[in-house]
Amino acid sequence: MALILSIESATKNCSVALAADGEVISLKELHEEKFSHAEKLHSFILEVMASSDRKLADLDAVAVSKGPGSYTGLRIGVSAAKGLCYALGKPLISVPTLESLARQIEMTEKGLIVPLLDARRMEVYSAVYNDHFEEIRETRAEIIEAGSFSDYLNDNKVFFLGDGASKTREAINHPNAVFVKDRFPSAREMARIAEKKAAAEQFEDLAYFEPFYLKDFVAGKPKRYF
């Protein structure tokens, strides 16, 4: 049985879960408008371990949400995960952020899932999954327009979720489009993905692993005070 700590920091939801054999036994998360990952993440890790009466040394692996998402959030999460792996001598597992978000939809009928993360203005990070959570279209950064995802909407019910869903709803008006509110990437859904990867020994190279930013980081212009 694998004991895996999962870290999700790609969006404004700072989330940590401890799972045994793919089932979450402890979860701590906070979603707020300001990014508080640097202040909250390490205390969340200690809390989920303490609440389950486990020690960090008991872990078999550490999983981290690899992106896309916030540049800063991803850096914080990956740095924390790498630090734990180096200190404990444990392997690192990466989980696609959009895949774990897609798994928040409980499919009771045939259809497709489009997880969406806000990438500013009318742009989103998106991918398309079938009702078995298999990726059928790769992750992209794209501008949302009235005709976006029409190839999928014409023949399928499509569930849109994530913090990019609201801007998508403004642009897309289609009877097959279902918009699911208030869903954010969480470490909860990472557990089963991480367990499957651990069983297959699909681990990352600690020295070279980097988050999947998708777009280059662009720093904002410094404010002028004089």
Helix (H), strand (E), coil (C) string for the chain = CCEEEEEECCCCEEEEEEEECCEEEEEEEEECCCCCHHHHHHHHHHHHHHHCCCCHHHCCEEEEECCCCCHHHHHHHHHHHHHHHHHHCCCEEEECHHHHHHCCCCCCCCCEEEEEEECCCCEEEEEEECCCCCEEEEEEEEECCCCCCHHHHCCCCEEEECCCHHHHHHHCCCCCEEEECCCCCCHHHHHHHHHHHHHCCCCECCCCCCCCCCCCCCCCCCCCCC
Token couple for 141: 């950064």
pLDDT for 220: 43
Token couple for 10: 């790609």
The domain defined by 3-97+185-199 carries CATH number 3.30.420.40: yes
Q: What is the location of CATH 3.30.420.40 in the chain?
A: 3-97+185-199
Per the confidence metrics, is the pTM higher than 0.85?
yes
How far, in Å, CA of 224 to CA of 191, rounded? 45
pLDDT for 216: 54
Token couple for 56: 């960090």
pLDDT for 148: 96
Classify residue 130 as exposed, middle or buried by CB count within 10 Å of its CB (0-12, 13-18, 19+): middle
Domain 105-180 fold: Nucleotidyltransferase; domain 5 (3.30.420)
pLDDT tens, N- to C-terminus, the chain (226 residues): 699 999 999 999 999 999 999 999 999 999 887 777 888 999 999 999 999 999 999 999 999 999 999 999 999 999 999 999 999 999 999 999 999 999 999 988 899 999 999 998 889 999 999 999 999 999 999 999 999 999 999 999 999 999 999 999 999 999 999 999 999 999 999 999 999 999 999 999 999 999 999 875 444 444 443 3
